[in-house]
Amino acid sequence: MSKYNLTELTAHQARVLLDKREISSVELTKAFLDKIFDLDDSIKSFVTITSELAIKQAQNADKRIKENKIDDLTGIPLQIKDNICTAGVRTTCSSKMLENFVPPYNATIVDRLYESGAVLLGKGNLDEFAMGSSTENSYFYPTKNPWDINCVPGGSSGGPAAAVSADEVIGAIGSDTGGSIRQPASLCGVVGLKPTYGLVSRYGLIAFASSLDQIGPITKDVTDSALILKAISGYDSKDATSINVEIPNYSDYLNKDLSGVKIAIPKDYFGDDIDNGVKKVIYEAIEVLKNLGATIEEISLSVMQQFALAVYYIIAPSEASTNLSRYDGVKYGFSDRLNSENLMESLYKTRQHGFGPEVKRRIMLGTYALSSGYYDAYYLKAQKAKRMIKAEFEDSFKKYDAIITPTSPTVAFKIGEKSSNPVQMYLSDVLTIPANIAGIPAISIPAGFSDGLPVGMQVVAPRLREDTIFHIASSYENATNWNKFKPDLKS
């Protein structure tokens, strides 16, 4: 028995112990696997657990540590959302369509994590094809919120957020198209970062809405978020939208006071549609930021408050309808050909039976928005409104370093509460969507509790200003320690 509670360690804490040889990666990995086997029957955060691979990778990591070939993540056990391709390890998108899909190659971020010596514990559950805000749309099973297993963990990266929150993993990798990293991080009381569009390669991320999708870390604290971002970001010739910039050492921006930092609070995002308990927590957090030296001023972001949700739910389904046209039962994935008389019938049946209701709803919504006669009214208009939203952010950032809002309008809601009402579910993303539309970075960090459930604060910064995000987030985290609270889990 180790004298440390291994599963509660962050990556940077484990790094110190691994490098001092007080613990080994195998020991650490086994502790997490034990925890997963103990707990995941009730949390359901994993789609696939890769025990054998994990032990092998941990043994290699221990060898590397012995040889002093150490990177930030050498020997650190992680989970990866199951819409990110892992060669030889089933990657399902939590869809019947890809239930048995084994990718022939790794996503770029998987290659980078492996090269740094990270250990893969398994693949995280999600809303089918990352479409949803509760992980109830998984073809396999809904994931439960570790703070209350009758509640959703949020989504679509509900598996990764729940796994981090329940100490089943040290950290996780998610994807965020309209809030899919930040909203579940908020609902599970962990740190979730959506980086600048193009900062992290999307090669091997199974596409949902290509102009909005971005990969990012879900972690127990801000320091780990900076470490993982450093490991996975950077130019990749395999992604045409990859940004070619030098990646700063994000850890240099942690733990500093906030004097001189100007923060804007958009009053439009503190309206009646935000729960009072959530608002109270964020107002208290703003006071903390003031005490740390930040200047706080109120602004208005009325354009995005009015239009961002509609713009998103036109653009994202439109892109999804074209991206998901590749699932035809011919090249890979589920095929209903044996029940079909001809090729056309096989195509219709494969898509009818391979996709779940929300995916079909979005494909059809996008097909409609792009169809002849409606293109101008919906898609083209949404693309133009997108420019207005981006301009509104740019105007604000002329005067302010960052914008702060709640991450989610509510705390975790009950499983089943919103699943029959798509519009109600879509409103869960109202605060996170604007950053995706503008392609700018945003983080959710734990800021307190309402009714015993975690509340997240969102920090939004200009393009490629992840340094500003880490600066504000780590300074706040240091002053409050909300991230140290743990759910009471009985396995």
Partner 1 sequence: MAITEKDIVHIAELARIGITNDEVKSMQIEMSKILEHFNVLKDVVVDKKEPLTLSDELHSVTRKDLDNNESLVANDNMLSNVPELQEGFIKIQAVFES
Q: What does residue 192 show for φ and ψ, rounded to 5 degrees?
A: -135, 130
CB 189 within 8 A of CB 446: yes
Taking alpha carbons only, the member of 66, 13, 6, 15 closest to residue 36 is 6
Nearer to partner 1, 270 or 332 (CB): 332
Alpha carbons 301 and 256: distance in angstroms, whole number: 28
Alpha carbons 169 and 146: distance in angstroms, whole number: 13
What is the closest distance, in whole angstroms, from the C-beta atom of residue 447 to partner 1 in the complex? 27
Catalytic residue (choose from 35, 44, 81, 123): 81
How many H-runs (helices) and E-runs (strands) does the chain carry?
Answer: 15, 11
What is the closest distance, in whole angstroms, from the C-beta atom of residue 127 to partner 1 in the complex? 16
What is the closest distance, in whole angstroms, from the C-beta atom of residue 118 to partner 1 in the complex? 22
Name 174's bridge partners. Answer: 216
What is the closest distance, in whole angstroms, from the C-beta atom of residue 358 to partner 1 in the complex? 10
Q: Is 81 a catalytic residue?
A: yes
What is the closest distance, in whole angstroms, from the C-beta atom of residue 221 to partner 1 in the complex? 28
The residue assigned the tokens 């906030």 is: 258
Catalytic residue (choose from 45, 156, 233, 346): 156
Q: Residue 42: count other Cβ atoms within 10 Å of its Cβ.
A: 14
Nearer to partner 1, 62 or 128 (CB): 128
What is the closest distance, in whole angstroms, from the C-beta atom of residue 99 to partner 1 in the complex? 11
E strand or H helix that includes residue 160? helix 158-165
CB 139 within 8 A of CB 99: yes
Nearer to partner 1, 353 or 486 (CB): 353
CA 317, distance to chain mean position in Å, is: 19
Nearer to partner 1, 81 or 463 (CB): 463
Nearer to partner 1, 10 or 323 (CB): 323
The pairing of strands 442-450 and 191-194 is antiparallel
CB 166 within 8 A of CB 220: no
- Residue 287: left if φ>0, alpha if ψ -120 to 50, beta else—which one? alpha
Nearer to partner 1, 387 or 399 (CB): 387
Q: Residue 426: count other Cβ atoms within 10 Å of its Cβ.
A: 18
Q: Residue 416: count other Cβ atoms within 10 Å of its Cβ.
A: 12
Q: Is the peptide bond prior to 242 cis by the omega test (within 30 degrees of 0)?
A: no
Catalytic residue (choose from 180, 186, 225, 428): 180
What is the closest distance, in whole angstroms, from the C-beta atom of residue 182 to partner 1 in the complex? 16
Q: Is the dihedral of CA 65, 70, 76, 82 positive or negative?
A: negative
In this structure, what is the dihedral angle of CA atoms 108, 110, 116, 118, given to the nearest 10 degrees? 170
Q: What does residue 199 show for φ and ψ, rounded to 5 degrees?
A: -75, -35
Alpha carbons 250 and 227: distance in angstroms, whole number: 7
Q: Is 156 a catalytic residue?
A: yes
Nearer to partner 1, 363 or 415 (CB): 363
Q: Is 175 a catalytic residue?
A: no
What is the closest distance, in whole angstroms, from the C-beta atom of residue 57 to partner 1 in the complex? 21
List residues with catalytic annotation.
81, 156, 180
